Amino acid sequence: MRYDKGMVNIIMAALMSLALLPYRSTGGIFHNYDMQAEQKLAEMSVDEKIAQVLLVRYPDTGGISALAEHQFGGYVFFAKDFAGKSAAEVQDLMENLQAVAKIPILTAVDEEGGTVVRVSSNPQLAPVRFKSPQAVYAAGGLSAVAADTKQKSVILEKLGLNLNLAPVVDVSTDPKDYMFSRSLGQDAQVTAEFARTVIETSRGSEVSYTLKHFPGYGDNLDTHTSSSIDQRNFDDLVQRDLVPFQAGIDSGAEAVLVSHNTVTALDPENPASLSSNIHVLLRLGLGFTGVIITDDIAMAALDAGAETTLQAILAGNDLVITSDYVRSMRELRLALADGRLEMVQLDRAVKRVLAWKYYKSLIL
């Protein structure tokens, strides 16, 4: 392991100065595209930079016009957005969205399998609903996981979707846990092999995969509906929950999604998604150089009255999943104006998103 309990506190002393430094790759996953990303960044307006760090929940109406006006980093689509649509209609929607984007957008879904199937819940888009990770693994082990990942990639790519907010690599072996049905249901070592298999199998496709929910969901409550306090000790996290994330990162994971659980061993005050400590652990402890994404900031686990988009960027996220882009853009614009957010901090996140898009060949 490249981290220990004292590491987080030691490096926190230097965190603020680190955050104010421009993003410079040190041989990370996107380092070959740093120069192109920096050149693109220099061409962007402040509002375009702000919009680029937002992964917006696709609105019920006006999605194309909103993108044309604001130029978001991407959209997240849910089952309702595909309901009743044919594959050709979804393809047309994605093409029309990309046509109005000055910078090609991320088109994201949660296609985990099992209870979370945004695309394959529509029989017009997939031959069958994707099975849960547990069912896939039980049927054929890691070879079945690889085949399942390939099939997901083919279907999503054909539809014009380029980011899967999966796999769930949380370690859960207790059926009473909220996350159990969405997890592999195996111990840390087997879940690590699952993470490694999904990431390695996804290489070469146009669909990126996302390890979630960092730093591990454990037996915590559903953060969609309430706050969730994780009181496990640091050693438990290291020996169990961080293991699959490390395996996925070492295998070339491009993105990690951070939960809203408050993990008291790392930060007793803030949800993980808004915690600098958590992001320091992910970056410097686990050596992750890709894009960090928040879980949806509209979830009830976060304070609805707080400036959560601003807090998320200050904590170290690169992309913020938001359902209220007007509010999110206003928060960042005001924070830049009054000095609570330095432009260099915003630029770090934007540049990493841009480098990712070059890496993915979205930007040519």
Active-site hit among 47, 224, 250, 324: 224
Burial of 193 (0-12, 13-18, 19+ CB in 10 A): middle
Pairing relationship of beta strands 229-230 and 208-214 according to DSSP bridges: unpaired
Pick the catalytic residue from 230, 241, 295, 318: 295
Q: What six digits make up the tokens of 137? A: 């693994």
Which residues are bridge partners to 319 per DSSP? 293
| Alpha helices (H) along 24-132 | 34-42, 46-52, 63-70, 79-82, 87-100
**Exposure b/e, 28-67, CB count within 10 A at least 16 = b:** bbbeebbebbbebbeebeeebbbbbbbbbbbeeeebeebb
The single residue listed with the structure tokens 């005050």 is 269
CA–CA separation, 166 and 255 (whole Å) = 10
- Whether 34 is catalytic: no
Burial letters for 138-158: b for 16+ Cβ neighbours within 10 Å, e otherwise?
Answer: eeeebebbbebbeebbebbee
Measuring CA to CA, which residue among 121, 272, 112, 276 is closest to residue 194?
Answer: 112
Instruction: Please give the span between the terminal C-alpha atoms of the chain, in angstroms, as a whole number.
Output: 37
Question: Which positions ≥6 away from 98 have C-beta within 8 Å?
Answer: 104, 105, 160
**Which positions ≥6 away from 27 have C-beta within 8 Å?**
none
295 has catalytic annotation? yes
- Residues involved in catalysis: 224, 295
